Structure 1
Amino acid sequence: MRLSDLMTRPGGRRLSHSRLWANIACAAATLLFVVEGLRGTLDAEIWLIYLGIVGGYSAGLRLIAAWRDRGGR
């Protein structure tokens, strides 16, 4: 996978704003998660919020892709 695949539409080379901003949001959340861990201020609430956002986003994308593959458009 190339870095540009995170920002472009599948099968094309056009910029996808939804992919771009979703990946920026996940990167920012991950950066803050790492910073909190290095500071020693990472607690269970932050773990749950981080995993809910980043994991939920990934799970949601897979669910939508599976729904589209079944013809649920």
Structure 2
Amino acid sequence: MHLADLLCSPHSRRISHSRLWANVACAAATAMFVRDGWRGALTPDIWVIYLGVVGGYSASLRMIAAYRDKGQSS
């Protein structure tokens, strides 16, 4: 996997704003999560929100991709 795959549309190979900003948001959330972890400031609420947002986003992308693949194979 290349770094460009995180930012570019697979069809046109041009920068995709939705991919760019989604990855920026996930990176910022991860940085804040790690920072709070080092400070010892993580609470159960922060864990739930972080895992729900970042993990939910990743799971949603995989579900959408699987749904599209299923629709194209029919």
Which deviates further from its counterpart, 11-20 or 24-33? Answer: 11-20
Q: Distance in 1 between matches of 2:35 and 2:12?
A: 35
User: Structure 1: which amino acid aligns with 2:4?
Assistant: S
5+ residue gaps, structure 2, are none
Q: TM-score with structure 2 length normalisation?
A: 0.91
Percent identity over the alignment is 65
Q: Distance in 1 between matches of 2:20 and 2:32?
A: 18
Size of the aligned set, in residue pairs, is: 72
Q: Distance in 2 between matches of 1:71 and 1:65?
A: 10
Post-superposition, which runs of at least 4 consecutive aligned residues in structure 1 deviate over 2 A?
Answer: none
Structure (1 or 2) with the greater helix fraction: 2
SS at match of 1:10: coil
User: Structure 1: which amino acid aligns with 2:45?
Assistant: E
Q: CA RMSD in A?
A: 1.2
Q: Distance in 2 between matches of 1:54 and 1:12?
A: 26
